[in-house]
Structure 1
Amino acid sequence: MFMYKILFFNMLIISTFIAISSYNWLGMWMGLEINLMSFIPLMKSKNLYSSESSIKYFITQALASTLILFTIILFNNKYLINLSSINYLMMNIALLTKMGAAPFHFWFPEISEGINWINNLILLTWQKITPMLIMMYNSYMNIFFIMIIMFCMMISSLMGLNQISLRKIMVFSSINNIGWMIPSIMFSQSIWFIYFLIYSLLNMNLIFIFMFYNFYYFNQFNYMNKLNNYIKIIMFLNFLNLGGLPPFMGFYSKWLTINLMLLYNLNIIALLMILFTLIVLYYYIRMFYMSLTLNTNMKMIKIINNKFFYMSFILLSMSPMIYLM
């Protein structure tokens, strides 16, 4: 089982490079399809819901791929990069669906709930690279993307408030960050790269902690009273990082995006994005507050006591700072 997962993981990596390095639309589409067929076998696990999630993921991604292929067929020339308005709209809807942006996120929370943390990490980070880069090379800021940004901000902030599942909270956090990344996709490749790198590292830190300590639901944070203080601090700092609270690295990436939007006179949009992100930051802080104020007599989850484990998370937390140095 391990060997076939290594094989499909390598195919997943290669398919992304095939898609983003292709010189024509058909090559991009083929890369996306190989990526889809490589990720589905990786979703298989002992979880009873993994098969259901695999089928849902396949159907959703296949529909988006069909829309992309239909758009390619409508081109007068398959190597043409400049799109007509209708083709442009259909292509971007398909790409936004593939990355799970609101309001095309209907599949995202349910699929995330049925897969393990490692697959969630891939879904939240690596699987967004190809759609974002394709969009970067063929899109420009207009009213459609402004609406998408607002949908991402509103849905992620409001839907995340009443969630008890950590996987769904991470999904709505991802949707919020997609809203922040769209302006950088349109205006600056370097800022998008910095934002995506920091976002991916922070997700990696949190998901590794959730995975090793078997956290899946909000009420399990009650057990944190019995965890090592270093783990509490690392988890809390990563939540503040992901929420964009200054002076952490998550704020740095958002600050770059805000400056970029002000440069292009998107002042009101930037202000609304900040206000909605404050709601997201609220439920990050609420999760940690629960760990400090509540206690429970329920059986404590399994804890791994390993010095190398603690060292690895400290280094991971410092990695964005090392990158900027």
Structure 2
Amino acid sequence: MLNHPTRLLFYLTLMTGTLISVSSNSWLGGWLGLEINLLSFIPLMSNLNNQFATEAALKYFLTQALASSILLFGALTLSLNTQFTFSTLGSPSVLNALISSSLLLKMGAAPFHFWLPGVMEGLDWVNSLILMTWQKIAPLMLISYLWAPEPFAFVIIILCISIGSIGGVNQTSLRRIMAYSSINHTGWLLSAVLLGESFWLTYFGFYSLLSTSLVLLFHSHQLTHLNQLFGIPMSSPLLKLAFFCNLLSLGGLPPFLGFLPKWIIIQSLVAQNFYALVTTMVLLTLGTLYFYLRMGYAAFVFTHSSPKWGPGNLFSPQLQALTLGLLSLSALGLIFMPLVLPAL
């Protein structure tokens, strides 16, 4: 990235656009930040040497342009009562649902998820990670100004978790699997939005850590499909074990680190008497463990052939140490959480 000043500029404006949306006190400022973020991410996605990346950039641009136009229309209509501020007192619920739908479309939440797996299929792993993590911050922050515990929010949360669980079962592309995993976690993030800003920021931080450690491994070995997991070298069985544990951690299985944010959300929702919602979320999320286990078995349990000669392990020692550290943190981090978060 540092060797390409243009890309560095786009990364800076990408972050600037998100910060403008997060720090804005009006819908017009939030929309402006989202547009700056969009126009910065499109050049990062495009690649003249890869027609799939260019196609993904075009799909992303058309979808985001549609969402931006709906958001601007909703904000202008809402301004008739509130002068562009984030206050929604007295505004019709249909208008709030319209603005929320445009933001859900921007972040790829169900049932507006149709573009996310196809776009991620054409991106490299670095851009896929940005799309799964950073690009959700601004829409989530703006949604938090609108959402309240009402049927519309409950339906969206259940749809995200169910579609994310079912959609990834029949996939062989690792990018599509991670896309449906992102949709599933988006449902948990939206449920955390109902609880407060600190809850969804905590969940988002843990999800970003787990996704980064997995994507770093996929990127370093240039893995794109499920059958390529057989090719992870047996010279580092500890790395394979940590990778397997990270998948279970991303699925929220105790006693791994990924269970902690889900535990916090479940405990807080139960405290507010959302028993039916919590039960549905937990049961539907179990579906994601199936394709996580399938990925883990392919990498760790099944036997595979190892070449006797070749270019050797292209995984540098520094990158291997960093990846192993992140994976170990996701697998064993729950043990040390009482020291870091004594309030829990």
Q: How does 1:66-215 map to 2 (within 5 A)?
A: 66-75=69-78, 76=80, 77-79=83-85, 81-82=87-88, 83-215=91-223
The number of aligned residues is: 325
Amino acid aligned to 2:25: Y
Output the aligned Cα RMSD: 2.0
Deviation at 1:234, TM superposition (A): 2.1
Amino acid aligned to 2:7: K
SS in structure 1 at match of 2:24: coil
2:21 to 2, 19, 22: 19
In structure 1, distance between residues paired with 2:86 and 2:239: 51
After superposition, the C-alpha distances for 1:60-85 in whole angstroms (9 at most, x for unaligned) are 00000000000111121222521421
After superposition, the C-alpha distances for 1:19-55 in whole angstroms (9 at most, x for unaligned) are 1101111010000000000000010233221111111
In structure 2, distance between residues paired with 1:275 and 1:296: 37
Q: Tell me which residue corresponds to 1:249.
A: 257
In structure 1, distance between residues paired with 2:140 and 2:101: 12
Amino acid aligned to 2:294: R
Tell me, yes or no, if the aligned pair for 1:230 and 1:310 is still in contact at 8 Å: no
Q: Tell me which residue corresponds to 1:56.
A: 59
Q: Tell me which residue corresponds to 2:318.
A: 308
Deviation at 1:220, TM superposition (A): 0.7
The verdict on how the C-alpha distance between 1:168 and 1:294 changes in structure 2, with shifts beyond 3 A counting, is: same
Say whether residues 1:226 and 2:234 are aligned partners.
Answer: yes
Q: Tell me which residue corresponds to 1:238.
A: 246
Tell me, yes or no, if the aligned pair for 1:47 and 1:116 is still in contact at 8 Å: no
Deviation at 1:229, TM superposition (A): 1.1
2:304 to 295, 299, 313: 295
SS in structure 2 at match of 1:29: helix
Amino acid aligned to 1:58: F
Deviation at 1:293, TM superposition (A): 1.5
> Which one is further off, 266-275 or 124-133?
266-275
In structure 2, distance between residues paired with 1:259 and 1:221: 36
Deviation at 1:307, TM superposition (A): 2.4
In structure 2, distance between residues paired with 1:243 and 1:234: 14
SS in structure 1 at match of 2:145: helix
In structure 2, distance between residues paired with 1:222 and 1:88: 48
Q: Tell me which residue corresponds to 1:286.
A: 294
Tell me, yes or no, if the aligned pair for 1:213 and 1:302 is still in contact at 8 Å: no
In structure 1, distance between residues paired with 2:86 and 2:37: 23
Deviation at 1:169, TM superposition (A): 0.4
Tell me, yes or no, if the aligned pair for 2:234 and 2:306 is still in contact at 8 Å: no
Deviation at 1:276, TM superposition (A): 1.5
| Identical residues among aligned pairs (%) | 38
In structure 1, distance between residues paired with 2:271 and 2:233: 46
In structure 1, distance between residues paired with 2:160 and 2:95: 23
The verdict on how the C-alpha distance between 1:166 and 1:7 changes in structure 2, with shifts beyond 3 A counting, is: same
After superposition, the C-alpha distances for 1:275-295 in whole angstroms (9 at most, x for unaligned) are 111110121011111232242
In structure 2, distance between residues paired with 1:197 and 1:304: 30
